């Protein structure tokens, strides 16, 4: 039996390098076919689009294509390894877009010196796509980049590590709190990490009812408090008026731990300090802040989730980004707003409370799955995700006035 490292390398190397390719959707066999696909026929849609730019959606694949764009500055929890090293992850996101939502993607790795250069590169190519999925761009630059691109682009721009992660975290956490009989309004939440995922997760949890003063956020220097200086403005919003300085201080009596930082940063001793029936989301990839084995051994009363596919409760943005874009593209939404994000939270959350189809059990190798501590969030291969999340998102887009098209018949 090959180890996971060699299996993963072989998976990426064979049968051909990478894991996606492009397919042709129209005939291209005969002289007649080529006269239509290329010269002279291709001139006709060119003329139409030149006269009416919206016709690009009628005659090209733009409307079903998303660009997955990274600079490789925060590749999973592996750090700033540069644009080229991010390519397997970006091809992976493209695979997931296609597999789960039938969206075509191009992965684009951008070299740049300044934020302005990155923004200009993306803004200048954005019209080629139906949407822009930014990926693995580190904080705090990611916030400025996303804001500038939303302002400059006509298509939806979505930083997956912020909002995809936040949506799935909120969905999983609301379910876990319900199972543990706790309330989001009173839960003490410790967030290890203060970057892209952390700031967006805590922002969305507050929109879902969490109390800002119950949130303790930590970066590499420790707890973010009002006593600290030199905080960037994103961290500043979470500065807590507390004497806690370390993770050990903050974790005492915490109901929830959200890890979006790095590997092996939460110890069994710290876990033992949490309140009864704790919720531990150790979401750093590929190696979580604490292993599920250690959590189950130390705290049998805990609900445990990771970002990985090979453990129960995968809290990972794969449960969101294919479906939020499916909904957004289907109504040609101009942006992905809070109403669409909250609709996605509720749809993902609700799906975990329904009976699990045989097909999902077969794909996961599980004999049974039912809403409870070991199943707080749906599995990515649950086909109902696309139906329910995309529909909820598309409906929210229409109702909040950001859709250019009416709700398609398939969603009515
Ligand atoms: N499961 C999922 O769906 C997702 C998981 N993630 C995971 O979240 C992590 C962060 O990603 P992202 O937010 O994009 O990256 P960023 O680079 O934007 O942020 C990383 C944050 O982690 C903090 N951090 C790193 N090491 C430590 C440490 N030893 N102690 C305390 N804080 C630390 C950094 O602190 P400082 O500010 O001081 O540098 C920073 O605030 C990654 O592991 C990634 O895999 C991300 C997105 C989705
Ligand atoms: C899942 C993901 O996007 C990350 O870990 O960065
Ligand atoms: Mg990511």
Whether the model pTM is above 0.95 = yes
ipTM, 2 decimals? 0.99
Active site (annotated) includes residue 57: no
pLDDT in tens, 126-161: 999 999 999 999 999 999 999 999 999 999 999 999
Instruction: Give the residue, by CA position, lying nearest to ligand 2 atom 2.
Output: 76
Active site (annotated) includes residue 38: yes
pLDDT in tens, 342-372: 999 999 999 999 999 999 999 999 999 999 9
Our answer on whether the CB atom of 206 is closer than 6 Å to any ligand 2 atom is no
Our answer on whether the CB atom of 161 is closer than 6 Å to any ligand 2 atom is yes
Q: How far is the CA of 75 from the centre of ligand 3 (A)?
A: 6
Q: Is a pLDDT exceeding 90 seen at residue 1?
A: no
Our answer on whether the CB atom of 287 is closer than 6 Å to any ligand 2 atom is no
User: Topology of domain 161-412, per CATH?
Assistant: Rossmann fold (3.40.50)
Instruction: List CB contacts of 125: < 8 A, sequence separation 6 or more.
Output: 67, 108
User: Nearest ligand, CA of residue 162?
Assistant: 1
Residue from 260, 308, 309 whose mutation best tests the ligand 1 pocket (most atoms within 8 A of CB): 260
Q: pLDDT averaged over the chain? A: 98
Confidence of residue 252 (pLDDT cuts 50, 70, 90): very high
Q: Which atom of ligand 2 is nearest to the CA of 160?
A: 3
Q: Do domains 18-160 and 161-412 have the same CATH topology?
A: yes
User: Nearest ligand, CA of residue 311?
Assistant: 1
CA–CA distance from 318 to each of 54, 131, 215, 332, 364 (Å)?
30, 17, 25, 21, 16
Catalytic residue among 93, 188, 341, 388: 93
Instruction: Give the residue, by CA position, lying nearest to ligand 2 atom 5.
Output: 76
Our answer on whether the CB atom of 247 is closer than 6 Å to any ligand 1 atom is no
Instruction: Give the residue, by CA position, lying nearest to ligand 1 atom 7.
Output: 284
pLDDT in tens, 46-67: 999 999 999 999 999 999 999 9
Q: What are residue 216's DSSP bridge partners?
A: 190
Task: Summarize the confidence of residues 377-384 as an average pLDDT.
Answer: 98
Domain ranges of the chain: 18-160, 161-412
Q: How far is the CA of 99 from the centre of ligand 1 (A)?
A: 27
Our answer on whether the CB atom of 291 is closer than 6 Å to any ligand 1 atom is no
> What span, in angstroms and rounded, lies between the C-alpha atoms of 61 and 87?
23
Binding residues for (S)-malate: 285, 316
Residue from 161, 239, 267, 280 whose mutation best tests the ligand 1 pocket (most atoms within 8 A of CB): 161
Q: Is a pLDDT exceeding 80 seen at residue 2?
A: no
> What span, in angstroms and rounded, lies between the C-alpha atoms of 128 and 148?
18
Binding residues for a divalent metal cation: 135-136, 161
pLDDT of residue 166: 99
- The domain 18-160 belongs to what CATH superfamily? Malic enzyme, N-terminal domain (3.40.50.10380)
Structure tokens at 58: 């009628």
- Residue 112 has phi, psi (to 5 degrees) of -160, 160
Residue from 316, 318, 322, 380 whose mutation best tests the ligand 2 pocket (most atoms within 8 A of CB): 316
Q: Which atom of ligand 1 is nearest to the CA of 161?
A: 47
Contact (Cβ atoms closer than 8 angstroms) between residue 222 and residue 196: no
> What span, in angstroms and rounded, lies between the C-alpha atoms of 216 and 212?
9
Our answer on whether the CB atom of 76 is closer than 6 Å to any ligand 2 atom is yes
> What span, in angstroms and rounded, lies between the C-alpha atoms of 83 and 75?
9
| Percent of the residues in the chain that have a pLDDT greater than 70, as a whole number | 100
Sheet order of strands, 131-134 included: 104-109, 65-70, 131-134, 157-159
Catalytic residue among 11, 19, 38, 58: 38
Burial grade of 64 (CB within 10 A; 0-12, 13-18, 19 or more) = buried
> What span, in angstroms and rounded, lies between the C-alpha atoms of 354 and 357?
9
User: Nearest ligand, CA of residue 78?
Assistant: 1
Confidence of residue 121 (pLDDT cuts 50, 70, 90): very high
DSSP, residue by residue, 308-352: -TTSSSB--GGGTHHHHHHHHHHTTBS---HHHHHHHHHHHHHHT
Instruction: List CB contacts of 14: < 8 A, sequence separation 6 or more.
Output: none
């Amino acid at each position: 039996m090959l180890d996971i490292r060699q299996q993963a390398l072989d998976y990426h190397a064979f049968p051909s390098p990478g894991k996606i390719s492009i397919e042709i959707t129209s005939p291209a066999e005969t002289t007649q076919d080529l006269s239509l696909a290329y010269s002279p026929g291709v001139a006709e849609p060119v003329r139409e689009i030149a006269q009416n730019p919206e016709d690009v959606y009628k005659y090209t694949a733009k409307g079903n294509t998303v660009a997955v764009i990274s600079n490789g500055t925060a590749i999973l929890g592996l750090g700033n390894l540069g644009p080229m090293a991010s390519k397997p992850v970006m091809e992976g996101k493209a695979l997931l877009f296609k597999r789960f939502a039938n969206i075509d993607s191009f992965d684009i790795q951008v070299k740049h010196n300044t934020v302005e250069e990155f923004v200009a590169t993306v803004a200048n190519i954005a019209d080629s796509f139906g949407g822009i999925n930014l990926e693995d761009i580190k904080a705090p630059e990611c916030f400025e980049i996303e804001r500038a691109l939303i302002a400059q682009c006509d298509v939806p721009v979505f930083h997956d590590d912020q909002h995809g992660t936040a949506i799935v975290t909120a969905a999983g956490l609301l379910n876990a709190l319900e199972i543990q009989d706790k309330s989001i309004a009173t839960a003490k939440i410790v967030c290890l990490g203060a970057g892209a995922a952390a700031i967006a997760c805590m922002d969305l949890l507050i929109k879902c009812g969490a109390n800002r003063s119950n949130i303790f956020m930590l970066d590499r220097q420790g707890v973010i408090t009002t006593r600290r200086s030199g905080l960037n403005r994103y961290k500043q919003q979470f500065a807590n008026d507390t004497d806690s300085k370390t993770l050990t201080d903050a974790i005492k009596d915490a109901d929830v731990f959200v890890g979006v930082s790095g590997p092996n940063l939460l110890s069994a001793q710290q876990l033992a300090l949490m309140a009864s029936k704790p919720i531990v989301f150790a979401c750093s990839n590929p190696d979580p802040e604490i292993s599920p084995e250690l959590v189950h051994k130390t705290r049998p009363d805990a609900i445990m989730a990771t970002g990985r596919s090979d453990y129960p409760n995968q809290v990972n943005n794969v449960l969101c980004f294919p479906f939020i874009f499916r909904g957004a593209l289907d109504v040609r939404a101009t942006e992905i707003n809070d109403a669409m994000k909250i609709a996605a939270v509720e749809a993902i959350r609700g799906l975990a409370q329904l009976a699990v189809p045989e097909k999902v059990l077969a794909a996961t190798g599980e004999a049974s799955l039912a809403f409870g501590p070991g199943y707080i969030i749906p599995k990515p291969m649950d086909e109902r995700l696309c139906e329910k999340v995309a529909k909820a998102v598309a409906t929210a887009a229409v109702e909040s006035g950001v859709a250019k098209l009416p709700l398609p018949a398939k969603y009515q």
